Amino acid sequence: MEIGPGNFPHIPIKGSYFVDTSKEALKKLVAKGGKGHMPSDGTLPFRDNYFDLICASHVLEHIKDDSKTISEVFRTLKPGGTFILEVPIHTDRWSKFDEVAGHVRRYDVDELYDKLTETGFKLHKFNAYSSPINKYTSWFVAKLFYLFPQICVNIYLRLVPKIQNYISGQKGKVLYTENFNIIMDKGDDATLILTK
């Protein structure tokens, strides 16, 4: 299951479950064989221990009550299941881009870790990577998003992950199991793989 895929899901569409607040995005996913659902007051419309895998790529930073969403993911994930999470990190790196993107927050690394583990998740693997959008380029990027929103979203979703990997010196995302704070200090965004 993927939370907040919009028009660009990260998991195969056919037969997969998707939760999004966009009726249009869900309609397109359902037309391609996905199973679309709208959340209700932050509650996921599934029974306990239902999914083996849940993904949320750059979604939690848009949700005001992220603690409830994290709890709902934990509730609907089967014991031993995997939660793949990507979020922007380092509150001191807040920029104009975060505002334009509709972010409610960037995450403090230690607070994010505590929030996830206090819910019951176990951190399995992780990485941090740099973004081409930073405090120096955010004003320009925000202006482009304002003038050409659809074009910029399409470019951002297709091109930025490749640029991030290049900047980070990675051909693919390397995931680590040790030195959490050292690794997290090296990037603007984080990938965390957690288990229940």
Tell me the DSSP string of the chain.
-EES-TTS-SS--TT-EEE-S-HHHHHHHHHTT-EEE--BTTB-SS-TT-EEEEEEES-GGG-TTHHHHHHHHHHHEEEEEEEEEEEEB-GGG--HHHHHTT-S--B-HHHHHHHHHHHT-EEEEEEEE--S--TTTHHHHHHHHHHSHHHHHHHHHHHHHHHHHHHTT-SS---BSS-HHHHHTT-SEEEEEEE-
**The pLDDT of residue 180:** 74
Domain-embedded: residue 53: yes
**The pLDDT of residue 153:** 58
**The pLDDT of residue 160:** 56
pTM over 0.75: yes
**The pLDDT of residue 10:** 86
* Tens-digit pLDDT string for the chain (196 aa): 999 999 888 889 999 999 999 999 999 999 999 999 998 888 999 999 999 999 999 999 999 999 999 999 999 999 999 999 999 999 998 888 788 888 999 999 999 999 999 999 999 888 887 765 555 555 566 566 667 766 665 665 565 555 555 544 544 456 667 777 777 777 888 889 999 9
Q: For residue 85, what is the domain's CATH number?
A: 3.40.50.150
Domain-embedded: residue 144: no
**The pLDDT of residue 76:** 98
Domain-embedded: residue 115: yes
If one counts the domains in the chain, the total is: 1
**Range(s) of the domain holding residue 56:** 39-130+175-195
Domain-embedded: residue 92: yes
